[in-house]
Structure 1
Amino acid sequence: MAAHEQALSTSSIEAGGLEFKMGGRECEFQARYVEEHHLGGGGCRAVFAGYRITDRCPVAIKHIPKDRIPIKVTGENAKRVLVEVAIMLKLAAEADGPVGASAPVSLLDWFDLGTELILVLERPVPAVDLHDYITANGGCLPEEKAKVILKQLVDAAKHLEDKHIFHRDIKSENILIETGSDVPRVRIIDFGLSCFAKERSVCRLFYGTAIHTPPECYGRKKYRAGPTTVWQMGVVLYEALHVGDFNTMTFLQKELKFNKDLSPHCRNFLDACLTNVPEKHPTLGDLQLHPWLR
């Protein structure tokens, strides 16, 4: 069994306590929710805006064909269940506050329609993804504004790590920024590639955004949750502070340009996240204590 499959097998134990059940039929979904315009979707996933009929609460509605579900875990009733559902149920079961209080958006409802799954997710309003937020701010953010976002993002990633959840694809497009207050608030979306992983779990098959692949995947052909998530913190920060996208191969070839006006603490934080050697990465806990975020 491959290492990443071992990590997923462990996840059925980690998720033990959750109740896996059929979410209902199509008529139930249509009786509860109205689906509106297309929001976006990666790969086989299509996501639509919508609202809950009873209170017109905004929701995001994700359609996932059953024959294209990449990662499943085994639930208590021995059925194979979408790991995204298992993870979001775990987050909901262990939430410290009401819906909307945590960084990951909440799973509100889900429906198994036989040929597809429908996930009904919290949709913060007003909000834009970080990529669009950066674009709207002129293509890069001032360092102080980037710091506000990174501090929340590191805290959110550490919260997931503490629950043995590895998102695997934290990037600007998967980070929502709530813009309804003076201080932008970070929310994490799209757990479609996520998995359960313990501290020393090793993954060999890469899931994520190809241009953000951590360097160890090229040389060692394996990666771990902690160092990879820290690497992704660096990728997000780089794209927040520079015009243009981050590309691992360009970085490894030393062709990626860095902003020379960054403060020493900020540049140190960025360099620590983007080190080539995973063993030299700080932990997420270390990042929380870094002088740049203090």
Structure 2
Amino acid sequence: MNNAFHPKPLPVEIALAVIIDRKPSCPHIIEMLDWQDDPDYYLIVMERPVPSMDMAKLLKCSGGRLKEQIAQYIMWQVIYAANFCCNRGVFHRDIKLENVLVNLTTLEIKLIDFGCGNLVKDSGYSTCYGTKPYIPPEYHDRGRYHAKPATVYSLGVLLFTMLHGRFPKDRDLYCLGSNQSVFAVSQECIQFLWACLQCYPEHRIALEQMIYHDWFVLGFPNALPINRKASKQHSRYR
């Protein structure tokens, strides 16, 4: 991949990391500390958050599901990171449980692994990358998908799985559309999931509006332990 900040083409993962790591950087995205171009391979040195584990392992340690308020705090950070990527012109394309690292002490997250990523393109994409359950339905229906609506869908799948311990099925989507859930979660959470998991991309909530949904404003009486000032800055990180 060509990169304006480097004189010769780079592997996709390195090129995207160079774009993402420009200052000001995002605290919720893994940082590439260094890389080397050897004759036969590229060597990448990444940040290693300690103590942390990926979301898939954390779910197993938590009995298969997370409490709603913990899921809410984690999701706010993942959405922040996804917005940051798109504002920098980067489409992660593989947001999933295994690509979200969680600090076990603070619950702060790091989005990792840009190996399936690409630059954001207005024309969209016709080639399938990423992990099957997170791929948006428009790829199967139309053979084409766009970065932001596809990201919203994958975030909806991520949240559903965090709360339910499994991927959403047709029956689950029917329940969400009827303002119901098989588990006891708030009405704001149900509405947020339904807004993310709409079959048609044009009906989904906009990526930029996700952190302003009622679920983050009205869902719980207690303030979230997050930096609200940072949420106002992400739109300037270009």
TM-score w.r.t. structure 2 length?
0.83
- Larger fraction in strand: 1
Measure, in 1, the Cα distance between the counterparts of 2:149 and 2:124.
Answer: 11
Matches within 5 A, 1:82-161: 82-96=11-25, 102-161=27-86
- 8 Å Cα contact 2:173-2:194 kept in structure 1: no
Measure, in 2, the Cα distance between the counterparts of 1:190 and 1:138.
Answer: 26
Measure, in 2, the Cα distance between the counterparts of 1:116 and 1:210.
Answer: 29
What amino acid is aligned across from residue 157 of structure 1 in structure 2?
Answer: A
The alignment-based identity, stated in percent, is: 32
For structure 1, the residue ranges without an aligned partner over 5 or more in a row are 1-7, 20-75
For structure 2, the residue ranges without an aligned partner over 5 or more in a row are 218-238
The answer for the alignment partner of 1:251 in structure 2 is: 170
The answer for the alignment partner of 2:205 in structure 1 is: 282
Measure, in 2, the Cα distance between the counterparts of 1:213 and 1:160.
Answer: 18
Measure, in 2, the Cα distance between the counterparts of 1:83 and 1:138.
Answer: 36
Query: Mean alpha-carbon deviation: is it higher for 112-121 or for 252-261?
Result: 252-261
Once the two structures are superposed, residues 189-210 of structure 1 have per-residue CA deviations (whole angstroms, 9 ceiling, x without a partner) of 0000111114x33100011002
Change (3 A) 1:115 1:219: same
Once the two structures are superposed, residues 133-185 of structure 1 have per-residue CA deviations (whole angstroms, 9 ceiling, x without a partner) of 1111111011111100111111111111111110000001000001233xx00
The answer for the alignment partner of 2:113 in structure 1 is: 190
- Larger fraction in helix: 2
Measure, in 2, the Cα distance between the counterparts of 1:293 and 1:90.
Answer: 29
The answer for the alignment partner of 1:210 in structure 2 is: 132
TM-score w.r.t. structure 1 length?
0.68
Measure, in 2, the Cα distance between the counterparts of 1:186 and 1:284.
Answer: 19
SS at match of 1:120: strand
Of residues 127, 144, 149, the one that matches 1:222 is 144
- 8 Å Cα contact 1:95-1:102 kept in structure 2: no
Measure, in 2, the Cα distance between the counterparts of 1:251 and 1:133.
Answer: 26
SS at match of 1:152: helix
SS at match of 1:222: coil
Measure, in 2, the Cα distance between the counterparts of 1:201 and 1:123.
Answer: 35
